[in-house]
Amino acid sequence: MRPQLEGTAATMRRTTLVTAMATGVALVLTACGGGGSSSSGSDSGEVTFWDTSGPNESPVFKKIAEACATKDGYKVKTETVAFDQALNNYKTAAQGGQGPDVFRSEVAWVPQLAKNGLVADLSDTDLAKDTSDFLEVPLGSTKYEGKSWGVPQVTDSLALLYNKKKLADAGVTPPKTWDELKAASAKLGGEKSFFLNNDAYYALPFIYGAGGDLVDAQAKKIVVNSAENVKALQTAKGLLDAKAASTALDPTNSYANMQAAFSSGDAAMVVNGPWAVADYLKGAAFTDASNLGIAPVPGDSAGKGSAPVGGHDYVIRQGTKAKQSSIKFIQCMSSADSQAQVAKELGLLPTRKSAYSNADVKANAVVSAFEPVAKSAHARPWIPEGGQLFDPLKIAYADVLAGKKEAKAALDEVAKAYKDTVVPEYSVG
Amino acid sequence: MRRFLERHWYAYAMVLPVVVVIAVLVLYPLAQGVFFTFTNINEANIANPVLDRPATYEGVGFKNYLNVLSGDASYGAFWGTLVRTLIWTFGCVFFHYTIGLGLALLLNRQVKGRTFYRVLLILPWAVPAFISAFAWKYMFNAQYGIINQFLRALGLPDPVWLGQSNWALLAVIVVNVWLGVPFQMVALLGGLQSIPGDLYEAAEVDGATPWQRFVHVTLPGLRSVSSTVILLGIIWTFNMFPVIYLIAGPNPNTRILVTYAFERFFSGASRDYAIASTYGVLILSVLLVFATVYRRALRSQGEVW
């Protein structure tokens, strides 16, 4: 009889928990949805903003958001949402007619959200007027089927970040090609000198640098298993084999280990974006911020380095009760002044051309170092499936780096997964 | 019939709320899930009443089942995943039971500080599973984790625990064993305490060795408890999601049926409800078959269950 009692107790505990959670969720949902009626004309005047930036950046966005709200006369509530959960949470909430009014969406998510009808079409609003000031590639991420769905918030790309002192001590200059990086590593103390993150996004510099791509959206072709890409992954694996780089072969720990290795000074070089800089500057190796060097990512040959464009866009949820306020909010958040403030305080790259001429922005070392990198960044296919391309590639890339599979075989599997589950209407090859 | 209703209407009225609740909470979602497996439903063609969007998914017959059961890697390599799920389930339950029984036997005697040990041993159960999972994830970190630091200090090889190999499966089994032992221990301890002491005395008088007492008194005395907790353990472990997902993420080397269903339903970007439901139905079928076989086996041994 004992175990059954135990079982019941466990069930009861779980049931209570579920009830408590359900009540909690219900309360939150009521709180979010409160105020205003659903007709398009009215506006609740309360904007809930889901900020997906990390703990280093979020306070600054919050501050600017509150300044905007005070200036333009509406209320704003900034809620921070973990980046890796954000898309999922947003989709679930928006599908149920709940969620934020304004969402900070990664550039690759916008076409997908647009296709699923979860973000509002902004083509006829003020936000779609006068977009000539925005950089073209980030602006491209807000378009889907000829309509406008968002406003670029920040742009970014990957660059080679290096420890100036370590490189100077070893007498090497920042490598321009992967071969140079190999040679430099030998002088910098071998495999510890370059930390290679084994996440799919970080495979893109190798792939773009070798002239490859994942899909050709124009020709509707899957090109992920091209000869260029095979060579690209072999280059990455070659760095590990030549003891010129190290990686965390357990993918779940890879990013955290990279951050730890570089900010402690263990690793002399990493490839990462401007969002990581604030994190590094807290580390022991960069108590003097000027020790952080930023250079374009190496390529197969000098000057051929190429990194993906990244960044974030503001979107408005389809079904929001505060569309007018949200539009005003985004206008204010993405104004040249706000962007300059973000650039100055966080070193994130503005999406407006005019913001780059601001004196404070010019004086920011991180922004000025990343500016040429971001402006020449490799565009990504702005298709609804753009965000789904990484899941299969991530596993393949980790397998290749771990030596479990050959690059060609692994990429053939990715191509098959793309064809079967991501972009069935595309042809392989 | 009419008289029957007249006579028992009260009973039916009393049962009705339960029937309605079960129909709404269990049967309707179940039927809907089964229905989805015959469609191509996903997040792009699902109906959205809030946004005034009608459903546009269509029936595809048995295509989902054929895709999944073909064992294609794009649909989760079903058969390989099933084998891994079985290794995971029986590996975990075996160690849950044996370690749990061992600890229960140790605690079932008068030792100093028995209450203290009991509290200590129940601790893994008291900590929320996701907190334990994150703690273990840090401990398994190949470079900085305490486990590998320890192994290195002893001069032993330090495997990449959560990498692209079967070490990852071993790692998550270790964590789940650690998490699951307390329940088995508590349940079996309860069972042990319900075995009458005079049976042991009689066995001792007859000259039975401790081993013989264990095999012929303890194990038969525990049978009804064991059969229940093992069945529960198997069902829970078969569908144990958080440990694997939080520690290893979408790693194909630790993928079991239920984590793959989640991957297809939720994670990343592709929300393929049809494939996820197909997995759900297949998981349910496997468990139903298992429970039936298990019950038959018990009944043939004379258990009334």
Confirm whether B230 is domain-assigned. yes
The pTM for the full model equals 0.83
| ipTM for the whole complex | 0.81
Cβ-nearest to B74 among A10, A249, A421 = A421
**Residue A359 burial class via C-beta count within 10 angstroms: exposed 0-12, middle 13-18, buried 19 and up:** exposed
Kindly report the nearest CA distance between residue B50 and chain A, in angstroms.
Answer: 5
> What pLDDT is attached to residue B74?
85
| Chain A residues within an 8 Å CB radius of B53 | 117
> What pLDDT is attached to residue A33?
39
Mean pLDDT of all residues in A230-246:
94
Q: Chain A residue closest to B141 (CA)?
A: A253
| Chain A residues within an 8 Å CB radius of B144 | 253, 257, 260
> What pLDDT is attached to residue B295?
84
Confirm whether B12 is domain-assigned. no
Q: Residue A53: which residues within 8 A CB-CB, separation 6 or more? A: A61, A80, A83, A104, A275, A312
Q: How many domains does chain B have?
A: 1
Mean pLDDT of all residues in A315-333:
94
Beta pairing class for A102-106 and A159-163: unpaired
Identity of residue A211: G
| Chain A residues within an 8 Å CB radius of B163 | 249-251, 398, 402
Q: Residue A341: which residues within 8 A CB-CB, separation 6 or more? A: A60, A64
Confirm whether B8 is domain-assigned. no
The whole-angstrom distance between residue A71's C-alpha and the CA centroid of its chain comes to 30
Provide the residue count of chain B: 305
Asked if B144's CB is within 8 angstroms of A117's CB, the reply is no
Asked if B193's CB is within 8 angstroms of A402's CB, the reply is no
pLDDT digits (tens, 9 = 90+) for A72-98: 999 999 999 999 889 989 998 998 889
Asked if B264 and B270 count as a contact pair (C-beta separation under 8 A), the reply is yes
| Chain B residues within an 8 Å CB radius of A422 | 270
Q: Chain B residue closest to A420 (CA)?
A: B74
Q: Does A91 touch chain B (CB under 8 A)?
A: yes
Using the CB atoms, write b or e for B263-299: b if 16+ within 10 Å.
bbbebbbbbbbbbbbbbbbbbeeeeeebeeebeeebe
> What pLDDT is attached to residue A287?
92
DSSP notation for A67-78: HHHHHHT-EEEE
> What pLDDT is attached to residue A2?
34
**Residue A122 burial class via C-beta count within 10 angstroms: exposed 0-12, middle 13-18, buried 19 and up:** buried
> What pLDDT is attached to residue B175?
93
Cβ-nearest to B191 among A2, A391, A402 = A2
Asked if A257's CB is within 8 angstroms of B141's CB, the reply is yes
Beta pairing class for A221-222 and A215-216: antiparallel
Confirm whether B22 is domain-assigned. no
Q: Does A132 touch chain B (CB under 8 A)?
A: no
> What pLDDT is attached to residue A149?
95
Listed as ranges, residues in chain B with pLDDT below 70 are 1, 267-270, 302-305
Q: What percent of chain B has pLDDT over 90?
A: 52
For an interface test with B, give the residue of A240, A250, A254 to mutate (most B CBs within 10 A): A250
Confirm whether B17 is domain-assigned. no
Confirm whether B274 is domain-assigned. yes
Query: Has residue A316 got a pLDDT over 90?
Result: yes
Asked if A252's CB is within 8 angstroms of B248's CB, the reply is yes
Confirm whether B108 is domain-assigned. yes
How confident is the prediction for chain A on average, in pLDDT?
87
Mean pLDDT of all residues in A251-273:
92
3-state SS class at B275: helix
Query: Has residue A36 got a pLDDT over 80?
Result: no
Q: Does A38 touch chain B (CB under 8 A)?
A: no
For an interface test with A, give the residue of B75, B170, B270 to mutate (most A CBs within 10 A): B270
Q: Which two tokens stand for residue B139?
A: 């401990």
Instruction: Give the CATH number of the domain where residue B47 resides.
Output: 1.10.3720.10
> What pLDDT is attached to residue B1?
65
Q: What percent of chain A has pLDDT over 70?
A: 90
For residue B8, count other CB atoms closer than 10 A to its CB: 12
Q: Which residues pair with A177 in a beta bridge?
A: A299
Interface contacts A/B by beta carbons within 8 Å? 124
> What pLDDT is attached to residue B122?
83
Asked if A387's CB is within 8 angstroms of B269's CB, the reply is yes
Confirm whether B4 is domain-assigned. no
pLDDT digits (tens, 9 = 90+) for A128-178: 988 999 999 899 999 999 999 999 999 999 999 999 999 999 999 999 999
| Residue closest to A49 by CA, chosen among A101, A106, A109, A120 | A101
Query: Has residue A347 got a pLDDT over 60?
Result: yes
| Chain B residues within an 8 Å CB radius of A7 | 228, 232
Q: Which of these ranges, A25-29, A291-295, B275-279, has the smallest mean pLDDT? A: A25-29
Asked if A6's CB is within 8 angstroms of B187's CB, the reply is yes
Mean pLDDT of all residues in A376-386:
88
- Whole-angstrom Cα distance, residue B232 to residue B228? 6
3-state SS class at A161: strand
| Chain B residues within an 8 Å CB radius of A32 | none
> What pLDDT is attached to residue A27?
41
Mean pLDDT of all residues in A266-277:
93
Interface of A with B in 220-249 (CB under 8 A): 248-249
Cβ-nearest to B162 among A10, A253, A387 = A253
Q: Could you give phi then psi for residue A330, rounded to 5 degrees?
A: -65, -40
- Whole-angstrom Cα distance, residue B241 to residue A300? 42
- Whole-angstrom Cα distance, residue A374 to residue B165? 37
Q: Which two tokens stand for residue A170?
A: 């070893």
Asked if B173 and B88 count as a contact pair (C-beta separation under 8 A), the reply is yes
Structural domain that includes position B255: 37-300
